[in-house]
Amino acid sequence: MSTYLAISSHGDNEVRPSSANSHRIMRQRSFRGRKEVGVIGQASWLSSCINLVNTIVGAGVLAMPLALSRMGIILGIFIILWAGLTAGFGLYLQTRCARYLERGSASFFALSQITYPNAAVIFDAAIAIKCFGVGVSYLIIIGDLMPGVVEGFSENAAGVSFLVDRHFWVTGFMLIIIPLSFLRRLDSLKYTSVIALISISYLVILVVAHFIKGDTMQNRGAIRVVRWESAVATLSSFPVIVFAYTCHQNMFSILNEIGNNSHFRTTSVVVGSIGLAASTYILVAITGYLSFGNAVQGNIVSMYSSSISSTIAKAAIVVMVMFSYPLQVHPCRASVDAVIKWRPIKQSESPGSSPSRLVSLLPGAKVSPQARVEGMGETRFAAITTAIIVLSYIVAMTVSSLEKVLAYVGSTGSTSISFILPGLFYYKISSPDSPHHQRLMKEDDDEEDSADDDEGLLSGGGLKGGLWRKKLLRQASLALAIYGGVVMVTCLVTNTLFVVATH
């Protein structure tokens, strides 16, 4: 409705709101109304940031010094910042896409249903496989590190066979992981995410402390500031940095659960989380690289001499991946559920001719409760979660390395959900010529854009400035999707040359 008001007010000054207070009142009214339509969010801004940062920052932070040694300090820092910028833009596009959907129903599946409905199953299958593979890798890390942690704390542990058995530790930690994986809301994991972030903080402090202490300088190699090792070596580390920011699989859940889902608040979650992750990566990369120079290895913690502090660091990695596993189960479960529910849309049921299947996703649509998007029932929720946990446990117990598989899954899955899908979805859904664009315009679109002007994000002047910004944003979203395709090809070629060739 406000769309037509805004169009008419462009030619009639009497209809246009006369003050910023009018805009804010209209925003508050529409916000309250929209919040009552779907799932009412209760998560705080801090909780949302904590879960998103924990999803971003993982064991990949320990490989940043090696990436810097291959690229050189200047280029390495630039790539870290560039990767954060592009990943953050993908998250920002997700916040924009979520505004076109009913409050609490945002997901990759919901967006694909109104953009590329027959490809929805492919998108969700890729996300499910990617998250499942990462979750399995976390269990493998636990099994690989815990025997060394026990031996670091007790020299006699080697004499007790089960304490140095990786299968024992994978099984034991599953007792902690299982109940956390059955939590429905991502916000419920905020306290475990805090513990994981404390573990990450310890690793960062350890690297910085050894750099300040200078106890590694005697074995330090040469330092590359501007020059890189080679183009081949640089390409081999590029995927490590790009995938270090992958968190987009949980972004829609965060948008659904956050209490205040205004444009400013959701954007600040993206900026704060990406900014903190980038700062952490740069800090560890620089201090770790300057500690060992070109002699640095892929896991910098393993290079420190045996001590209680390094043993605690290994235990911190275990805690970090243990509490990150449920963050992979959450999107994996949602994607598996979407794949099970998916049915192909025939030509006669296309969005342009029969929108009844899709209209329930649109904000403000008056439909019966039966037509609304159904949530996951208790039985289905328990069955899918159990299947994910059992299958990941079996794989982790029988396989000791997923390096080759994860290399290709990351190249396709991570680039898809980080760059390609956010870019394509926003480009399609924001098209002025699309029939969806007219139905998806919410009552407070123009009021929110006016408030965004005051808050300084994508600021401009008036209706013409808003249209110009939207057009620019749409073109930038297409550029992000193309960039994602280039990154996917680059990573696939790199993995073929380096990962497979070395085995």
Predicted confidence (pLDDT) per residue in 35-49, tens digit: 444 445 688 999 999
pLDDT at 158: 72
> When comparing pLDDT for 404 and 437, which is higher?
404
Decide: 327 and 253 in contact? Cβ < 8 Å: no
The answer on pLDDT for 423 being more than 80 is yes
411 has a pLDDT exceeding 60: yes
pLDDT at 30: 40
User: 13 pLDDT exceeds 80?
Assistant: no
pLDDT greater than 80 at residue 408:
no
Check residues 430 and 361 and name the one with the higher pLDDT.
430
Q: Which residue has the tokens 């801090």?
A: 46
pLDDT above 80 (res 132): yes
pLDDT of residue 212: 92
Say whether 287 sits in a helix, a strand or coil.
helix
Percent of the chain past pLDDT 90, that is, above it, reads 42
Which residue would you say has higher pLDDT here, 1 or 474? 474
The pair of three-digit structure tokens given for residue 338, joined into one six-digit string: 């979407």
The mean of the pLDDT values for the chain is 80
Q: How far apart are CA 61 and CA 14, in angstroms?
A: 57
Indicate whether 139 pLDDT > 80.
yes
- For residues 439 and 467, what is the distance between their CA atoms, to the nearest angstrom? 18
**Which one is predicted more confidently, 79 or 398?**
79
Sequence-ordered list of residues with C-beta below 8 angstroms from that of 66, at least 6 positions apart, any chain: 237, 240, 296, 297, 298, 300
What burial class does residue 226 get, using C-beta atoms within 10 Å of its C-beta: 0-12 exposed, 13-18 middle, 19+ buried?
Answer: exposed
pLDDT of residue 49: 94
Range name among 177-181, 295-299, 351-355 with the lowest pLDDT average: 351-355
pLDDT at 75: 94
Tell me whether residue 464 is exposed, middle or buried, using C-beta atoms within 10 angstroms of its C-beta: 0 to 12, 13 to 18, 19 or more.
exposed
pLDDT of 104 over the 60 cut: yes
CA pair distance 388, 167, nearest whole angstrom: 18
What does the alpha-carbon distance between residue 224 and residue 226 come to, in Å, rounded to a whole number? 6
Contact in structure between 176 and 183 (CB atoms under 8 Å): no
pLDDT: which is higher, 495 or 6:
495
**CA separation for the pair 170, 146 (Å, rounded):** 9
Q: Is pLDDT of 21 > 60?
A: no
Residue 149 has pLDDT above 70, yes or no: yes
Q: Which of 15-24, 338-347, 423-432 is predicted least confidently?
A: 15-24
Segment 308-317 shows an average pLDDT of: 91
What six digits make up the tokens of 234?
A: 């640089």
Concatenated DSSP letters of 128-166: HHHHHHHHHHHHHHHHHHHHHHHHHH-GGGGGSGGGG-H
DSSP string, 391-411: HHHHHHHH-S--HHHHHHHII
264 contact partners, CB below 8 Å, separation of at least 6 = 451, 452, 455, 457
Question: What is the average per-residue pLDDT within 345-349?
Answer: 57
| Helix, coil or strand: residue 43 | strand
What is the model's pLDDT at position 481? 95
Looking at residue 86, its pLDDT comes to 96
Query: pLDDT-derived band of residue 198, with 50, 70 and 90 as boundaries?
Result: very high
Q: Give me the pLDDT at residue 465, please.
A: 56
Task: Please write the tens of the pLDDT for every residue from 169-195.
Answer: 999 999 999 999 999 888 899 899 999
Region 76-102: what's the mean pLDDT? 93
pLDDT above 70 covers a percentage of the chain that reads 77
- Find all residues with CB under 8 Å of 400, minimum gap 6, and list them: 140, 144, 166
Higher pLDDT, 76 or 41: 76
Predicted model pTM = 0.81
- Which residue do the tokens 């002007």 mark? 453
